[in-house]
């Protein structure tokens, strides 16, 4: 199963909106004879790749799979049936699929065919490779990662606005990898107007090893979602002219001619600002598993205050910018220490000259 989880991770840049799944087939002598992972929605599932590799030798084998085999006809036929037809003897599953279209039905198909099924092996590890997919299936909301970069004293720019660069090139390369794993990169008109960023994934900026193993010829661009409640953007900004889609979020439909790869999302709650919680529901309905937020102190603070952040990823540079520099996070309603949003550290890592701190929301 540990091997199956490793194999599954190879899809982590490309499977969205589908989950990462890995499959390993083992013969009677406990030798691995087949492996597969899910590459991309619409392409064969992990089990199909592994069965194809094994052919008729699948009969009597044990199959390790990181997520319950599917039971429904989607863009591909159900994997549970394929395992039955291949006459495998035993299927070991890390976890049930919470997708209501599956949710135990895959296991039932296998058991009805007389296949021995074990479920729950390395479940915690399997959970971690599909944080976004699983959260969306269970709650109808995407998994939100808020990326921040600051000096040791929590500053993101000088008083003048000068901010290039606080963190090192190696840290910015690390961000490219996190971007590439996400379904959406979320930013704001304020950031677009200030920096005119592309918000794309650039294969050239990947670490060498990843570049060599990226599972597709062409890089998958996460959808860029840009909040523009005051209709300040003209669509002439760089972010609208990149490969892949950009979704412009406004409060009302606008008199705009949209290029093919730009879509308008109207968030029409009664609030004058964009209702972030509603926006997250909309994104989940559009099958967005993970949202990677790269924006300024206002959006960061609003997401934190509304308890919408699942994970904080904070790059800290080994320098001090002092009290006149700009703050990391605006929390206008916070006055007492006991109300401060709390997180838990889950990872600390040195990235080039900087450190990366990862935290999840507490409680």
Closest by CA position to 173, among listed 299, 296, 300, 315: 315
Contact between 162 and its own copies by CB under 8 A: the answer reads: yes
- Residue numbers belonging to the annotated binding site for NADP(+): 149, 165, 191, 195, 199, 229, 296-302
* Residues 6+ positions from 354 with CB-CB distance below 8 Å: 167, 168, 170, 171, 315, 316, 317, 318
In this complex, which beta carbon is closest to its own copies, that of residue 116 or of residue 353? 353
Six token digits for residue 103: 């949710």
Taking the complex as a whole, the smallest distance from the CB of residue 303 to its own copies amounts, in Å, to 11
Half-sphere exposure of 214 (CA within 13 A, CB side): 21
In this complex, which beta carbon is closest to its own copies, that of residue 151 or of residue 289? 151
In this complex, which beta carbon is closest to its own copies, that of residue 82 or of residue 312? 312
The whole-angstrom distance between residue 33's C-alpha and the CA centroid of its chain comes to: 31
Of positions 177, 235, 256, 334, contacts its own copies by CB under 8 A: 334
Of positions 109, 115, 180, 325, contacts its own copies by CB under 8 A: 325
Contact between 280 and its own copies by CB under 8 A: the answer reads: no
Site size for its own copies (CB under 8 A) = 52
For CA atoms 24, 27, 29, 35, give the dihedral sign. Answer: negative
Of positions 55, 60, 207, 322, contacts its own copies by CB under 8 A: 322
Contact between 302 and its own copies by CB under 8 A: the answer reads: no
Residue with tokens 């993101």: 156
In this complex, which beta carbon is closest to its own copies, that of residue 194 or of residue 216? 194
Answer yes or no: are the C-beta atoms of 294 and 195 closer than 8 Å.
Answer: no
Answer yes or no: are the C-beta atoms of 8 and 129 closer than 8 Å.
Answer: yes
* Residues 6+ positions from 260 with CB-CB distance below 8 Å: none
In this complex, which beta carbon is closest to its own copies, that of residue 153 or of residue 245? 153
Taking the complex as a whole, the smallest distance from the CB of residue 222 to its own copies amounts, in Å, to 25
Q: Round to whole Å and give the CA distance between 48 and 140.
A: 28
DSSP state of 156: E
Residue with tokens 């009969």: 59
Contact between 314 and its own copies by CB under 8 A: the answer reads: yes
Q: Strand pairing partners for 355?
A: 316, 350
Contact between 331 and its own copies by CB under 8 A: the answer reads: yes
Of positions 14, 109, 151, 175, contacts its own copies by CB under 8 A: 151
Of positions 28, 100, 164, 272, contacts its own copies by CB under 8 A: 164
Contact between 350 and its own copies by CB under 8 A: the answer reads: yes
Q: Write out the residues near its own copies by the rule CB under 8 A.
A: 150-155, 158-160, 162-164, 166, 297, 301, 304, 312, 314, 316, 318-325, 327-332, 334-337, 340-345, 348-350, 353-355, 357, 359, 362
């Amino acid at each position: 199963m540990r091997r199956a989880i490793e194999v599954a991770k190879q899809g982590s840049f490309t499977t969205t909106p589908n989950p990462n799944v890995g499959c390993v087939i083992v013969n009677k002598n406990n030798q691995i004879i087949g492996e597969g992972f899910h590459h991309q929605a619409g392409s064969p599932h992990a089990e199909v790749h592994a069965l194809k590799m094994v052919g008729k030798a699948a009969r009597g084998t044990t199959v390790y799979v990181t997520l319950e085999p599917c039971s429904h006809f989607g863009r591909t036929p159900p994997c549970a049936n394929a395992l039955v037809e291949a006459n495998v003897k035993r299927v070991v599953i890390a976890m049930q699929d919470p997708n209501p279209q599956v949710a135990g039905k895959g296991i039932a198909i296998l058991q009805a065919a007389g296949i021995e099924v074990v479920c729950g092996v390395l479940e915690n590890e399997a959970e971690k490779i599909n944080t976004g997919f699983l959260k969306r299936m269970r709650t109808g909301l995407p998994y939100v990662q808020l990326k921040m970069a600051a000096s040791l004293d929590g500053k993101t720019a000088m008083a003048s606005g000068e901010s290039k660069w606080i963190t090192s090139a190696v840290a910015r390369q690390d961000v490219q990898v996190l971007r590439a794993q996400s379904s959406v990169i979320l930013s704001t008109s304020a950031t677009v107007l200030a920096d005119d960023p592309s918000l794309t994934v650039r294969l050239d900026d990947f670490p060498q090893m990843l570049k060599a193993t990226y599972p597709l010829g062409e890089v998958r661009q996460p959808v860029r979602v840009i909040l523009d409640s005051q209709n300040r953007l003209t669509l002439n900004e760089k972010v609208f002219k990149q490969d892949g889609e950009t979704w412009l979020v406004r409060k009302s439909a606008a008199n705009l001619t949209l290029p093919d790869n730009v879509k308008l999302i109207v968030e029409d709650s009664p609030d004058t600002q964009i209702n972030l919680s509603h926006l997250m529901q909309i994104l989940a309905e559009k099958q967005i598993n993970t949202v990677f937020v790269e924006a300024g102190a206002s959006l960061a603070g609003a997401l934190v205050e509304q308890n919408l952040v699942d994970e904080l990823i904070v790059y800290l540079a080994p320098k001090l910018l002092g009290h006149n520099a700009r703050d990391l996070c605006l929390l206008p309603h916070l006055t007492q220490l006991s109300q401060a949003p709390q997180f838990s550290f889950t990872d600390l890592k040195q990235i080039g000259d900087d450190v990366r701190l990862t935290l999840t929301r507490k409680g």
